[in-house]
Amino acid sequence: MQGTFGQVVKCSKISNSEPVMIKMFKKDPQYILAAQTEVNILNKLKRQDSEKSHMVKWYQAFEDRAFTCLLFEHMESSLLDRMKERHPDGLDLKTIRFIIKQVALALYYGKYKNIIHGDLKLENVLLVNHTAQPWTVKLFGFSQAHEVSEAHPGRSIQRCLPYRSPEITLGLPYDGAVDVWSLGCITAALYVGEHLYPGKSPYEMLKYMTQTQGQLPDTMLNEGLDTNRFFLRDDSTGSWKLKLADPSHHEDFQETDLPLKDNGTKVLSSLQDFLKLKPLDSQSRVDEEDEIGDRRMFVGLLESMLQLDAAKRLTPHKVVQHEFLRM
């Protein structure tokens, strides 16, 4: 498994043949810093109960020739791999409910420690053992994680564009709400099997967002360090409009990790479109009403996690308490 900063390999301990995972960082400046960052964060999280916090258990760090290595408990595969191999058209709401509650709990424990994950994506949500514990997952990949006190506008996080929050793209102050945005993007992808906003540049991401969710608030655009890259301001009214052409140049970000389907991705006019993206699977009128109600709660959760204004997004604790996840 190849990550942003390191390669993950599966192996066994010589002493007892216990299966484990090792994340390997090359010893050059960029990767050394990422390894140090991850170790610092993992040390802060080490006392958390891995089963309750839904974070992959970390054992130790060690050096091996040209690599810094981090030793973790063995995990089966990522949600990304599982979706590509077995569920290209998405999952049912019951399964999504179970997965999202676990990831939200991981974010809740991280928030308790004042830690922002900063790289939440399908690739970093790992299945424990799908045969023995179907859809039980844990959070992984803390190379971009940092404390809330270290968050500052312009910091390079959320490098995988389909999960990048608008405040990061615009260069705004941010907090743990960026992880809730990413969780919303994961939730949408689990339902339809492709990304909600599969932009190939920051500009495309903003264009998708505004087409589906409307114009970003002027309060955000007025303060963004990078607003002028993507928006033009009307001096007479003080309002902003998205530029007609993509001004983006090469950046250090990852390509979308879910392949587009043959017919491409339909840009939604509203998140309410999720209510009708899939045919109903009910056998009776009562079942149909229940399924429609379930979808409405699902869309309500999506809308609450994908609020353009970070101050209006649910906290991880509120996500866990949402009616859709409490059913």
Q: For position 100, what pLDDT does the model report? A: 98
Q: Going by C-beta distance under 8 Å and a sequence separation of 6 or more, which residues neighbour residue 47?
A: none
Q: Name the CATH superfamily housing domain 77-326.
A: Transferase(Phosphotransferase) domain 1 (1.10.510.10)
For the four alpha carbons of 279, 281, 283 and 285, in that order, the dihedral sign comes to negative
119 catalytic per annotation: yes
Tell me if the domain spanning 7-73 has CATH number 3.30.200.20: yes
- Specify the DSSP element, H or E, that contains 221: helix 218-221
Average confidence (pLDDT) over 102-123: 96
Q: How far apart are CA 243 and CA 224, in angstroms?
A: 15
Average confidence (pLDDT) over 127-150: 96
**Which of 89, 92, 119, 246 is the catalytic position?**
119
Q: How far apart are CA 292 and CA 90, in angstroms?
A: 18
Q: For position 251, what pLDDT does the model report? A: 60
Q: What is the pLDDT of residues 52-91, one digit of tens each?
A: 999 999 999 998 888 899 999 999 999 999 999 999 999 9
- Specify the DSSP element, H or E, that contains 205: helix 202-213
Question: For strand 240-242 and strand 125-129, is the pairing parallel, antiparallel, or unpaired?
Answer: unpaired
Question: Between these two residues, 309 and 33, which has the higher pLDDT value?
Answer: 309
Binned at pLDDT 50, 70 and 90, residue 299 comes out as very high
Q: For position 48, what pLDDT does the model report? A: 85
DSSP string, 165-201: -HHHHHT----THHHHHHHHHHHHHHHHSS-SS--SS
| Strands, E assignment, the chain | 7-12, 19-26, 58-64, 67-73, 77-78, 115-116, 125-129, 133-139, 146-147, 231-233, 240-242
Q: Where are the domains of the chain?
A: 7-73, 77-326
Q: Going by C-beta distance under 8 Å and a sequence separation of 6 or more, which residues neighbour residue 249?
A: none
Asked whether this chain's domains 7-73 and 77-326 adopt the same fold, the reply is no
pTM score, whole prediction:
0.93
Q: Looking at the predicted structure, is the pLDDT value of residue 29 above 90?
A: no
